[in-house]
Structure 1
Amino acid sequence: MQTQHYCDGKLPNCISVHFNLEELTTTNTGVSNTPHAPNVISNLRKVAEHILEPVRKHFDRSVIVHSAYRSPAVNKAVGGSNNSQHSRGEAVDFRVQGHTVHEVAMWIKDHLTFDQLILEHFLPNSPQSGWVHCSYSHNNRGSVLTKFKGSQIYHPGILLVPPQKTVK
């Protein structure tokens, strides 16, 4: 059941049919997060069109955005990478109401074009943990990774458990 609002496409804060600028720039850091560069808004529109809207349509549920655009100050405050795609408006961290992040990440991997897809801060045996990080850019690589909570290692693929270390 869809519960998110609909943008009419004419309001200045509309990014796509179901997403507005406010929800893609909200932060709890207390630091200003207003995008000033025109390319950031354009990039957020592409992320919404190519990632968020297809996910919402397929799962027919609200998409809860945790982080999309991050100003340089916000990115620094949250410990983001210096070259974070969030700072260019090319990435979004989110969950889908009523679905596990693993399920959502697998669907994106199999059905959408993207630059980078990460099942992030996931805990084995805790299907509601973590979030999906997905980016879209002008040169999409199709990179697929999993980063388990408490680890700094990014593993190739969408995994339910960390790979076992082999002993020689």
Structure 2
Amino acid sequence: MVAVTNRAYRTAEGQTAWKVETIVGGQRIDEGLLREDLSRPGAILLLARERGGAPVGHVRLDAGDDGVWSLSMLTVRPERQDGGFGRRLLEAAEAWVVARGARRMRMMVVGQRTELIAWYGRRGYAATGERRPFPYGDARFGAPARDDLYFEVLDKPL
């Protein structure tokens, strides 16, 4: 999962430009950070597999207060992108949290990734107007290529 996530988020080779975080280099996640994230109460990782069992994608979900869940790290193997798999994985994640009482889904997207924000917008997510700082200085999240990065908070009623 770590290798697939880093490839999908940070390696432009073989991918459409808008799908890669070219404004951040280095890793997206490492094993220690993934273990730390998933050890938090309410955190889960949904894994999607091909019929033969090979992982194709995954998404991290975190239960929140008052039926508001967080979605992060939506990942699809680059060679399986452009076939609607990311959309289906997002829909499956939404259905999974709704079955557990979710009323809303929230996420953070690097604000400068306007095409990705538009992709989520076509799936019902809207900017809340809230921005959160990028974790500059924490190499676990990669090496930013710019000094103006921030996260845009998106929200969708379910």
Fold shared, TM-score > 0.5 on shorter chain: no
Between structures 1 and 2, the one with greater strand share:
2
The answer to which structure, 1 or 2, has the higher relative contact order (CA under 8 A, 6+ apart) is 2
TM-score calculated relative to the size of structure 2 = 0.31
Question: Which has more radius of gyration?
Answer: 1
